[in-house]
Amino acid sequence: MIRWEPGSNTLTLLEAAREMTSAAMAEHDAEVLLASAIQRGELHANIKRWATEQWEGRQLPGNINRLETRIGRDDFDAWLKSTSASV
C-alpha cells in the first residue's frame, strides 16, 4: 500500500468525486466510479475501509471510506484522462 505524508499532493476520495461532479454525474455516482476503479487496481490509492458498524452515508464498493481514502493528484489526473468519466 502506498503511504502519503500529510500535506502532500493528495485528494480524499470525496474531494476527487466532487471534482468529477457535473449535471450529468452526481457526487455519489462519482464516488462509486472511483471506488470501483480502486478495487480493480486501475487507480492507486491509500485505502481506508469502514467496518460495517462504523458506516457513514451511502456504501461504496469494498466498504471504502470516502473521507480517509487518499488518492495522489497525479494518479487521479492520469486516471481521469484515461477514462471517459471526465467532467
pLDDT at 2: 47
pLDDT at 54: 65
pTM above 0.85, yes or no: no
Q: Which residue's entry shows cell 461504496? A: 60
pLDDT-flagged residues of the chain (< 70): 1-8, 52-57, 84-87
CB 65 within 8 A of CB 50: yes
pLDDT at 5: 54
pLDDT at 55: 63
Handedness of CA 21, 1, 7, 53 (dihedral sign): positive
Residue type, 76: F
Spatial CA neighbour of 64 closest among 20, 27, 31: 31
pLDDT at 50: 83
Spatial CA neighbour of 58 closest among 16, 21, 28: 28
